[in-house]
Every structure is written in C-alpha cells, then in structure tokens.
C-alpha cells in the first residue's frame, strides 16, 4: 500500500544468509585452531621424547665413564642389563680408600613388572638403579627389573624403549678394544599415536670407552 514503510531489521532471507556466513566463519576458525593445536601438541611430544632420550643417555654415559668395573654385559656379550661399579676394581679391591664406592644398574623391562606394562607406561620400560657401598651390584633380570632390588628403589626413565635394528640388544660390550673396554648403547624411544598425532620415534646410539678390566 502506498505510504507504508518497511519495519527496521532483517528479513528472513537476510537472517538465514547472515547465519550461514557466520557458521562458515566459525567453522574456518575452528579448523585453524584444531590444526594449530595438533601441531603444537606434536611439537611438544617430540621435544619431550628427545629430552627424555638425551637425559637417559647422558646418565648412562657418565656412569660408564666413571666405572672401574663392569659386570653386565660380559666381555663380548650383550643384553638388556647394564651393571657396573665405581672406585672398585674387578678383584674387589677399592681403588681409592678415601673415596666412597658404589654401583649402578640399568635394565629394560619387557613385560609387566612394577610400573611397567600399564597404559601410562607401556613396555618395554627403562629403569635406573644406584647402590651406595655395594659392589658388585645385585643381579638385575626380567623378573625383578622395575622392582626394588637390594634396597634400591628403581628410577623410571622411559617407556616404549626398543632395540634399534642395527644392533643385537640394548647394551653390547664389544671386543673391538683391548679387554672389552667398549660398550655400545642403542635405543629407540617411541611415543604411540594419539588423536591426530602420529607415532613418534627417536633413535639414539653411543659408544663409551673406558677401563673395565679384562677379567669380567
């Protein structure tokens, strides 16, 4: 009718169009946020995995460098256990009487023992032990690795630790050097896939040379 004016506001068509545009904008922002969140999560997991590996290898290398006796693995052997002593000769004589002696141990638990084999810590798991004024260290095996051994509570180091394809086991005591004074350590640290973050692996290998003596 002549003289009628349109009421202020949107028509139904305009509202539907505005809603559609708004939904598309929100969906786009959500996709960007999800992608950014996934990428940041992947970067964080990768950094944590590498940090865990490097800290573990630094500790093992330091213990080997200071070791004066090595009980596991034997010369020319390999295994999932590394045991040694500091300031104690293979014949049981303390090298320096004024300095304390002790022993260390590392083991990889392939099954469900202690905290290993759970959803939070899937096997295989790497553990570290330290004993004061004890040498040789108590024997570590698949049966007790991850449990309290010789009064020492194990330190959980990492889960999902596997043997690299290029070596027969985690710890290899080679005969390349005189008296078997060389230990090759190799491990693949893994984090399983979660959500949109794929499986992550970080392989580390190192060789430690020191004087372990030929008698063990």
Note the pLDDT of residue 79: 96
Q: List pLDDT tens digits, range 147-165.
A: 999 999 999 999 999 999 9
Question: Would you say residue 96 lies in a domain?
Answer: yes
Q: List pLDDT tens digits, range 177-209.
A: 556 678 999 999 998 887 777 888 899 999 888
Question: Would you say residue 12 lies in a domain?
Answer: no
pTM of the shown model? 0.76
Question: Would you say residue 10 lies in a domain?
Answer: no
As beta bridge partners, residue 104 has: 84, 130
Distances (CA, A) of 81 to 5, 9, 141, 200: 89, 77, 7, 25
Question: Would you say residue 86 lies in a domain?
Answer: yes
Question: Would you say residue 75 lies in a domain?
Answer: yes
Q: List pLDDT tens digits, range 78-136.
A: 999 999 998 887 766 777 776 788 999 999 999 998 889 998 899 999 999 999 999 99
Domain range for 111: 22-209
HSE of 22, CA atoms in CB hemisphere, 13 A: 6
CA–CA gap between residue 44 and residue 48 (Å, rounded): 6
Question: Would you say residue 141 lies in a domain?
Answer: yes
Dihedral of CA atoms 38, 39, 40, 41 in degrees, nearest 10, equals 50
CA–CA gap between residue 47 and residue 41 (Å, rounded): 10
Question: Would you say residue 8 lies in a domain?
Answer: no
- Give the position of tokens 């950014």: 36
Question: Would you say residue 190 lies in a domain?
Answer: yes
Note the pLDDT of residue 125: 96
Domain count, the chain: 1
């Amino acid at each position: 009718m002549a003289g009628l004016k349109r009421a202020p506001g949107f028509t139904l068509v305009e509202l539907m169009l505005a809603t559609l545009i708004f939904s598309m904008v929100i969906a786009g922002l959500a996709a960007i946020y999800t992608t950014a969140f996934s990428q940041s999560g992947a970067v964080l997991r990768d950094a944590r995995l590498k940090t865990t590996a490097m800290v573990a290898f630094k500790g093992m290398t330091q213990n080997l460098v200071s070791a004066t006796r090595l009980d596991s693995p034997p010369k020319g052997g390999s295994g999932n256990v590394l045991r040694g002593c500091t300031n104690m000769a293979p014949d049981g004589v303390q090298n320096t009487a004024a300095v304390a002696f002790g022993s260390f141990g590392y083991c990889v638990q392939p099954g469900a023992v202690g905290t290993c084999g759970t959803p939070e810590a899937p096997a295989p798991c790497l553990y570290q032990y330290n004993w004061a004024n004890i040498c040789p260290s108590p024997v570590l095996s698949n049966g007790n690795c991850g449990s309290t051994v010789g009064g020492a509570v194990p330190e959980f180091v990492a889960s999902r630790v596997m043997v690299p394809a290029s070596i027969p086991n985690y710890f290899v005591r080679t005969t390349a050097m005189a008296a078997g004074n060389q230990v090759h350590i190799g491990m693949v640290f893994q984090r399983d896939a979660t959500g949109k973050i794929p499986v992550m692996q970080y392989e580390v290998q190192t060789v430690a040379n020191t004087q372990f003596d030929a008698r063990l």
